[in-house]
C-alpha cells in the first residue's frame, strides 16, 4: 500500500559528481532525494538545488523518481540544455536500469508495449490505459534469479512517468519496496525502491561524441 509521504532526504553524501565539464554535469542521485523541489517549503531540498549551490549554471534536463537512485545528467549552459532536451525528445539518449522484482519472471528477455496514463483519482500513480494512454515500451532481460525475486536489466524506449514501475506491475512482478505499486511481501521485501539507473549514454553537446556514464547498483 502507498505509505504517507514523509520527506527525509539523505544528507550524506551531499552531492556525488561523476563528471563535469563546460557543457554537462553528471551526478549520482541517491534514493530518497527529489530531483526538483516540491511545493511545500519542507520539500525544498533536492538534487537540482544541491547542484546549483555548487555549480550555479547547472540546469535540470530530466528526472528520476524520488526513490530511484543512479545516474542523471544536467546541462551547464543554455545551448547544452537545448541539445540534451532534443536528444531526449528524439530518443537518442539510452538508459539502462537494474531492478529487483517480486516472483520468478518467465522467460529470459522480452518487451512490454503498453500505453500509460495518469490514474487521476490516485495521482501521482500511473496506470496502463489502452484507450487514453501514451505509447510506452520497455525492454527487459534477466540478470539473476533469486529465491523469491528476480533481478532484471530494464531498458526504457520511452520516458513515461513511473513507466518501469507500471510495466513491471503489468507483468505481475512489482518492483520490491515500491510504495505506490507493491503490496504485502513485495513491498516489505526491501527498505527502498529496488530500482537503479545504472547507465546513461548520450551524444556530448560539444562534439557529438557518444559517452556512457555509469553508477554501480547499490543493492
The residues that are catalytic are 65
Q: Are 36 and 24 in contact (CB under 8 A)?
A: no
Q: Are 170 and 101 in contact (CB under 8 A)?
A: no
Distance CA 99, CA 163 (A): 13
Strand partners, 205: none
Distance CA 122, CA 159 (A): 20
Per-residue DSSP letters for 98-120? Answer: EEEEES--SSSEEEEE--EEE-G
Amino acid at each position: 500500500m502507498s505509505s504517507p509521504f514523509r520527506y527525509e532526504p539523505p544528507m550524506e553524501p551531499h552531492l556525488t559528481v561523476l563528471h563535469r565539464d563546460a557543457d554537462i554535469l553528471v551526478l549520482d542521485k541517491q534514493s530518497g532525494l527529489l530531483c526538483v523541489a516540491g511545493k511545500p517549503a519542507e520539500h525544498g531540498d533536492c538534487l537540482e538545488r544541491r547542484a546549483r549551490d555548487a555549480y550555479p549554471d547547472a540546469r535540470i534536463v530530466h528526472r528520476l523518481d524520488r526513490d530511484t537512485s543512479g545516474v542523471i545528467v544536467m546541462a551547464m549552459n543554455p545551448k547544452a540544455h537545448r541539445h540534451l532536451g532534443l536528444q531526449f525528445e528524439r530518443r537518442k539518449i539510452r538508459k539502462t536500469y537494474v531492478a529487483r522484482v517480486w516472483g520468478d519472471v518467465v522467460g529470459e528477455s522480452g518487451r512490454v508495449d503498453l500505453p500509460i496514463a495518469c490514474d487521476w483519482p490516485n495521482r501521482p500513480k500511473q496506470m496502463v490505459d489502452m484507450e487514453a494512454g501514451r505509447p510506452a515500451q520497455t525492454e527487459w532481460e534477466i540478470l539473476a534469479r533469486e529465491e523469491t525475486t528476480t533481478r532484471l536489466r530494464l531498458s526504457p524506449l520511452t520516458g513515461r512517468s513511473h513507466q518501469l514501475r507500471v510495466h513491471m506491475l503489468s507483468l505481475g512482478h512489482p518492483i520490491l519496496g515500491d510504495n505506490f505499486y507493491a503490496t504485502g511481501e513485495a513491498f516489505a521485501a526491501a527498505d527502498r525502491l529496488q530500482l537503479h539507473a545504472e547507465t546513461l549514454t548520450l551524444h556530448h553537446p560539444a562534439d557529438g561524441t557518444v559517452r556512457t556514464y555509469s553508477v554501480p547498483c547499490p543493492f
